[in-house]
A and B are shown apart, each in its own frame.
Chain A
């Protein structure tokens, strides 16, 4: 009996050590991968031909998922899993090689801890966004300066910008979110927004703006599909595919699909499919994005705009 007890105890001990070692090893592995990511380039290539995982930006997820559905309909043996999780997670995972395509609202160069040199950028669409205003505020056109004043807290009442006498409530996005990044950079010229309610989901932002008198937030254009919120013009320019494509409307961002090294196999086929006319002329505009083909200007990671 005593012998048995001892052996059980030993087995228990071995198991604990084993599990702990496995965990420790994992953690250590992650860390070293993060530090020396420049050298590990082969992650994406190991994937099997018929199965890829796409993850990242939750704003891009519906678009990519719709395209993947259609692609799978045409190629029965292709297995494409599309997950959300956030731009940062998408970039980190594609760099680690745990997924094949990482979606991001922002350039990889703008994210700390990502070695943009190893990642290949595929811009699959453009998303436009603008300020969403509660209808009772009585404002549907703001100059860029007014927008900056409102979001930095200099203007606190709608009457100061030609609206009703209502106090302004700001609705923000989380600090590192791609939507916030884009809005801060191209709508607020880099000014830090003042404090306000912070929500992650676009639907929640829309609902708050619609329900709260005096509220203002920012949303991708696809969310302006009814009259519960006002789609604000900026400097008199309405946000449409044409004004974004021509560069007249400033607040837009590429939807990036990153691969670790040049894509191969299914990843390459799927990205080609995303950029094909079939997707660009149907799914992309249907989901409220601007097709790449309509862009007459292009923008680099530093934000410089050039004619195509």
Chain B
């Protein structure tokens, strides 16, 4: 608050302060309320806009939604024979998401336990900054490293041409590992010390304490960490696009090329004209991404609700 330049009498000062205080109250309160309202409005606006755009391919272009979701035939530029089936991309998105979570979960939770239980000092001083640094690396860098290092490596040592579901999974695993580790570490650290002490007092070893007491107690939070990691993997486009090959067939093995919802949208959206059927079907993919992301959030909310401690 700016102070009056002439020093007022004590009485005046008191009145001023009182006024100021009330004014301050109102102002501060409105400020934060506006912030909250803008956020809510933005979320609602995006959802409404995406729903409106995304439903157009079904309402305006009369695409059968069931066929859209389940058909494996994607050929938007076929003219008369055009077909719009996005199942391969839904499959691709879910496949990279779950497979990368499968690898990242044990690694991330393991690192979290190491950081919180085994070597708290080293963990806090060295490991945590390193992991936080990893979060800050832009996804295009991960994608580029994937393209120039990982893809040739896979090409030389595994069947296929390097561009593959597997390459996408590895890039995503590295990307979501920091997210999983950071949240899992917070979860482990927030466990009350009485749990550890009680368990040790009963004669349990350190490992027994971790395995039988701490992990079960932190389980909902650990699952939340994994789901948030999956949400990030599911929404990632750029890095995956650079290594996965972006094909429209359902991959036969993890060394086959694949495509995901996000990569197909980013690859095609600039080339399509607004309002065309190709454009609308891409918006519908965006809507499906949003819906699945909402599902992830619901899972997180449900898990948080189950937290025991």
Of the candidates B49, B78, B249, B276, the one whose C-beta lies within 8 Å of that of A111 is B276
Given contact pairs A8-B30, A27-B52, A192-B75, A113 touches B279 in the complex (Cβ within 8 A): yes
Specify the chain A residue showing the minimal Cβ separation from B266. A200
**B interface footprint on A152-179 (CB within 8 Å = 1, 0 otherwise):** 0000000000000000010000111110
**B interface footprint on A10-25 (CB within 8 Å = 1, 0 otherwise):** 0110011001100110
**Does B130 make an interface contact (CB < 8 A)?**
no
- How far does the alpha carbon of A129 sit from the alpha carbon of B26 in the complex, in Å? 66
**Does B259 make an interface contact (CB < 8 A)?**
yes
B15 to chain A, nearest CB (A): 20
Q: Chain B contacts of A86 at CB under 8 A?
A: 269-272
Question: Are A58 and B48 in contact, with the CB atoms below 8 A?
Answer: no
Question: Are A15 and B274 in contact, with the CB atoms below 8 A?
Answer: no
Given contact pairs A12-B33, A200-B267, A175 touches B247 in the complex (Cβ within 8 A): no
Which of A46-54, A87-95, A263-271 makes up part of the contact surface? A87-95
**Does B29 make an interface contact (CB < 8 A)?**
yes
Question: Are B275 and A34 in contact, with the CB atoms below 8 A?
Answer: yes
A168 to chain B, nearest CB (A): 11
**Does B291 make an interface contact (CB < 8 A)?**
no
Question: Are B52 and A174 in contact, with the CB atoms below 8 A?
Answer: no
Question: Are A211 and B248 in contact, with the CB atoms below 8 A?
Answer: no
**Does B17 make an interface contact (CB < 8 A)?**
no
Of the candidates A12, A24, A92, the one whose C-beta lies within 8 Å of that of B273 is A92
Which of B37-45, B92-100, B113-121 makes up part of the contact surface? B37-45
Q: Chain B contacts of A92 at CB under 8 A?
A: 273-275
Given contact pairs A195-B247, A198-B267, A200-B267, A23 touches B77 in the complex (Cβ within 8 A): no
Q: Chain A contacts of B205 at CB under 8 A?
A: none
B62 to chain A, nearest CB (A): 15
Specify the chain B residue showing the minimal Cβ separation from A114. B273
Question: Are B246 and A199 in contact, with the CB atoms below 8 A?
Answer: yes
Q: Chain A contacts of B151 at CB under 8 A?
A: 211
Which of B3-11, B155-163, B168-176, B301-309 makes up part of the contact surface? B155-163
Specify the chain A residue showing the minimal Cβ separation from B25. A4
- How far does the alpha carbon of A12 sit from the alpha carbon of B32 in the complex, in Å? 11
Q: Which of A201-240 contact B (CB under 8 A)?
A: 204, 207-208, 211-212, 215
A34 to chain B, nearest CB (A): 4
Q: Which range holds the interface residue count of chain A? A: 35 or more
Q: A-side binding surface: helix, strand, loop or mixed?
A: helix
Question: Are B147 and A207 in contact, with the CB atoms below 8 A?
Answer: yes
A251 to chain B, nearest CB (A): 18
- How far does the alpha carbon of A92 sit from the alpha carbon of B273 in the complex, in Å? 5
**Does A196 make an interface contact (CB < 8 A)?**
yes
Chain B residues with a Cβ closer than 8 Å to the other chain, count: 49
Q: Which of B254-298 contact A (CB under 8 A)?
A: 257, 259, 266-279
Q: Chain A contacts of B37 at CB under 8 A?
A: 12, 15-16
B155 to chain A, nearest CB (A): 7
- How far does the alpha carbon of A213 sit from the alpha carbon of B75 in the complex, in Å? 28
- How far does the alpha carbon of A269 sit from the alpha carbon of B230 in the complex, in Å? 52
Question: Are A111 and B273 in contact, with the CB atoms below 8 A?
Answer: yes
Specify the chain A residue showing the minimal Cβ separation from B269. A86
Specify the chain A residue showing the minimal Cβ separation from B259. A198
Question: Are B248 and A87 in contact, with the CB atoms below 8 A?
Answer: no
**Does A197 make an interface contact (CB < 8 A)?**
yes
Question: Are A198 and B41 in contact, with the CB atoms below 8 A?
Answer: no
Q: Chain B contacts of A176 at CB under 8 A?
A: 76-77, 268, 271-272, 278
Question: Are A87 and B49 in contact, with the CB atoms below 8 A?
Answer: no
- How far does the alpha carbon of A105 sit from the alpha carbon of B209 in the complex, in Å? 65
**A interface footprint on B186-225 (CB within 8 Å = 1, 0 otherwise):** 0000000000000000000000000000000000000000
- How far does the alpha carbon of A130 sit from the alpha carbon of B157 in the complex, in Å? 31
Specify the chain A residue showing the minimal Cβ separation from B36. A12
A-B contacts, 17 listed (Cβ < 8 Å): A8-B30, A19-B45, A20-B41, A23-B45, A88-B276, A92-B273, A111-B276, A113-B273, A113-B274, A174-B268, A175-B76, A176-B268, A176-B278, A195-B247, A197-B245, A197-B247, A204-B242
The 4 A-B pairs with the shortest beta carbon distances in the complex, nearest first, are A86-B270, A176-B271, A113-B276, A198-B246
